[in-house]
A and B are shown apart, each in its own frame.
Chain A
Amino acid sequence: MDQKEFDRLASISRLRLDENEREKFLKEIDEVIRLFDEIEKADVDSLEPAFHPIDIPQRLRGEEPEAFGNKKELLGNTKIYRFYVVGPKI
């Protein structure tokens, strides 16, 4: 992976890396991608992908509202303004 491509990857990953991290990850990531490239040799074209290890039955819940026990506790991990969660500008 060249430096330009790596910087783009870090940018879309929303990771700000310092110079030491950048140098270290760039080298290590190349090594890991070489490991990943090994799977090209696998003879698996005719197989169906397995998105889960077992068959998962599609059991959807009904569209029924449920109240969470304690609203204050639920919102306790956020900054609140008049029962609204405060977040950054989008």
Chain B
Amino acid sequence: MTSSISKFVRSEKREGYYDRLVTDLTGLNDRLNAFSVIDGNMKVGFPLSVKDNLCVKGFECTASSKILRGYIPPFSATVVERALNAGFSFLGKTRMDEFGFGTFGINNDKPVRNPFDERRVAGGSSAGSAVATSIMKYHVSLAESTGGSISAPAAFCGVVGFTPTYGLLSRYGLIDYANSLDKVGVMGRSSQDVRYLFDKVKGYDRRDSTSVDSALKSRETKNLMIVEELLDKVEDRVKTRFLGFLDRLKGNGYSVESVSAKDLEHSIAAYYIISMAEASTNLAKYCGFKYGLKVDDFTKGYNDFFSEARASFGAEAKRRILLGTFVRGKSVRSRYYSRATKIRRAVINRLKALTKKGLLISPTMPVLTPTFEEVEKLTPVQNYAMDILTVPPNLAGMPHVSFPYDYLNGLPLGAQAVSDHFDDYTLLDFVSEWEKGFRYEFKYNLGDL
């Protein structure tokens, strides 16, 4: 499959292209809520959307939180700056779960709707980026994942969502959720588009202390592994389709081995302990006189002033602040936070040992895209359990990619492949091979040439 980026760049039909695209996009966005900002200025480059937790100089950046309304960053994130320098054109900011706190794209002012069926969720937290990718013919998105925020919406919206090894894409200019887990990534309609943007934005950045510049590997492997304990969590109708997908892979020359990995059992708990601990400290910077929302009454004492500002957080943010503050408490820290970091070590060790032998593969999500009503009924713990397949590679900072492999009742089904640290290109090569025999389906193709 050739990159749609090269086709777009070669096209001579780009006069008035942006005007038409922005008009069509604005109309559809009124229903789907994918974008919080659409930039209507005339441009000529390949359209790029940016998740609303990445700063773009001069455009409001809120991470879909009320507490950041009105915040205009005076600088761009490194990945944005590099993409613009490479010739991409900034199209707009995409809506997300507030600060990345969510799996369904609903924890914000306007829940994001799935373009395949508007009664259903888009997935989260990079909901708007996935929807934008699913509705536009020529477009890529810069997104971000902490525990599955790229894979989940990519699966529900039928696009390719790539989360690179931790540290490969700079976090400078990213609004932090959990520093040791946050990873900037890329979404596109093909592995080629994703790879193109990834290559333009990757690389060491001295402004991010966790940035790395290790050489990336690519190896040929025909060995795939499924983790029994994870597949057991998948609902039957999804599992049946996934097993059919494995049969097609076997037909393409891959071997599929079933492996046991009990060490992954506590991934969800460890992930939420670490991420909430980090989130609860990161959110302390929103204190009512810097960034976004301002509390006007300066006669108040600091604690009152601070508490008044924090009333603007949404329910999930408040829940995570409470739980994060709790697990960091002196009397329970070793029981929760310290132990969770050891579980992360066990997960890293296990996944590294497995991925030395090949790629791990699983459905991306354990369920078919749920409706808003179905999601509303979930308790927080049931909600967190939806991340069971995406959390292990995120906790371990390992590269992973979600891509569509089938459609059920008109909804896309996503598979997720995981590889070893810095083995990122192997994943993109694997998806590229799969795409040779797969036909993507989309409901909208805005901006067709």
Q: Is A67 an interface residue (CB 8 A)?
A: no
Residues of A contacting B338 in the complex (Cβ-Cβ under 8 angstroms): 49
Where chain A touches its partner, the secondary structure class is loop
Asked if A88 and B288 sit within 8 Å, CB to CB, the answer is yes
Asked if A32 and B341 sit within 8 Å, CB to CB, the answer is no
Q: Is B166 an interface residue (CB 8 A)?
A: yes
Asked if B305 and A88 sit within 8 Å, CB to CB, the answer is yes
Residues of A contacting B154 in the complex (Cβ-Cβ under 8 angstroms): none
Q: Which residue of A lies closest to B306 (CB)?
A: A14
Interface residues of A in 12-71 (CB under 8 A from B): 12-17, 21, 24-25, 28-29, 31-36, 38-42, 44-45, 47-54, 56-57, 59, 61, 68-70
Q: How large is the interface on A (under 10, 10 to 19, 20 to 34, 35 or more residues)?
A: 35 or more
Chain B residues within CB distance 8 Å of chain A: 70-72, 74, 165-167, 180-181, 206, 209-210, 212, 265-266, 268-270, 272-273, 280, 288-292, 294-295, 298-303, 305-308, 310-311, 313, 315, 318-319, 321-323, 325-327, 335-336, 338-346, 348-349, 379-381, 384, 395-398, 421
Residues of A contacting B167 in the complex (Cβ-Cβ under 8 angstroms): 54, 56
**B345 touches which of A48, A68, A70 (Cβ 8 Å):** A48
Task: Known A-B contacts: A33-B323, A44-B342. Give 12 more (CB < 8 A).
Answer: A14-B310, A15-B322, A16-B308, A16-B311, A28-B380, A31-B380, A36-B336, A39-B273, A53-B395, A54-B166, A76-B72, A88-B306
Asked if A52 and B210 sit within 8 Å, CB to CB, the answer is yes
Asked if A57 and B289 sit within 8 Å, CB to CB, the answer is no
- Output the least CB separation between B180 and chain A (Å): 5
Q: Which residue of B lies closest to A58 (CB)?
A: B209
Asked if B379 and A31 sit within 8 Å, CB to CB, the answer is yes
Asked if A70 and B74 sit within 8 Å, CB to CB, the answer is yes
Asked if A73 and B74 sit within 8 Å, CB to CB, the answer is yes
Residues of B contacting A87 in the complex (Cβ-Cβ under 8 angstroms): 289, 298
For the complex, what is the distance from the CA of A48 to the CA of B395, rounded to whole Å?
15
For the complex, what is the distance from the CA of A42 to the CA of B349, rounded to whole Å?
14
